[in-house]
Amino acid sequence: MTAIRNKHQQHQDIAPVQQLQRWSMIVDGNQHHQLSYLSPSECTHEFMLSEALIPQLRLMAILIAAQRLNDQQPTPAIISDEADWFAARILVMGIRVFHLDITLIPMLKTANLRARKFAQQHQLAFTPAQMRMSLHAGRPERLLIVETSTLIKSDLGIIQNSLNFAKSACLSESEIIKLTANNT
């Protein structure tokens, strides 16, 4: 009987699961793709976002990457890497879940560490992102499936979804700049 009570109490101590919304995001990250090169098959998902229309991501990725630069060495030609972009997505967009291939576990761990470090330095809220294993066989190369706590009822298409998300659900560019100015 005690075991049953303990098990029941354990279930009461578990926090309620937060509802998340799934987004399909066209990403360019650290590469130089353009939306004009998307095939029609890449834009048929519901609740799509375009990373290129959320400029805060590029700003945050570069700021996170810049923390690893030092005055003693020349600046490399490419400053940010994939983990910087994932860290930026975690902090700017509040992404809680990435649907990724299992081979990307080390990269996501690095991204969470970088996001946590940046958040601590700049007094930002931080929730580490998790991974859901996902097979990429039929998915377009630049399509990233993510889940956020931002819940939107109406799918307005990739452009309007992206602009609305950037404006209302992300850290703004001015907030990001203030964070870094206050901590220099």
For position 8, what pLDDT does the model report? 45
pLDDT digits (tens, 9 = 90+) for 103-115: 899 999 999 999 9
Identify the three-state secondary structure at position 127.
coil
pTM of the model: 0.81
pLDDT at 11 over 70: no
Place of tokens 């998307």: 38
For position 112, what pLDDT does the model report? 98
Q: How sure is the predictor about 70, in pLDDT bands with cuts at 50, 70 and 90? A: confident
Q: What is the DSSP string of 66-99?
A: HTT--TTSPPPS----HHHHHHHHHHHH-EEEEE
Distances in Å between the Cα of 135 and the Cα atoms of 12, 23, 24, 103 are 34, 16, 15, 11
Provide mean pLDDT across the span 154-161. 90
Whether the CB-CB separation of 156 and 164 falls below 8 Å is answered with yes
For position 40, what pLDDT does the model report? 59
Lowest mean pLDDT among 53-57, 60-64, 141-145, 180-184: 180-184
Radius of gyration of the chain (CA): 18
Strands 95-100 and 130-133: parallel
pLDDT digits (tens, 9 = 90+) for 12-51: 455 555 789 999 998 875 554 444 455 656 567 788 899 9
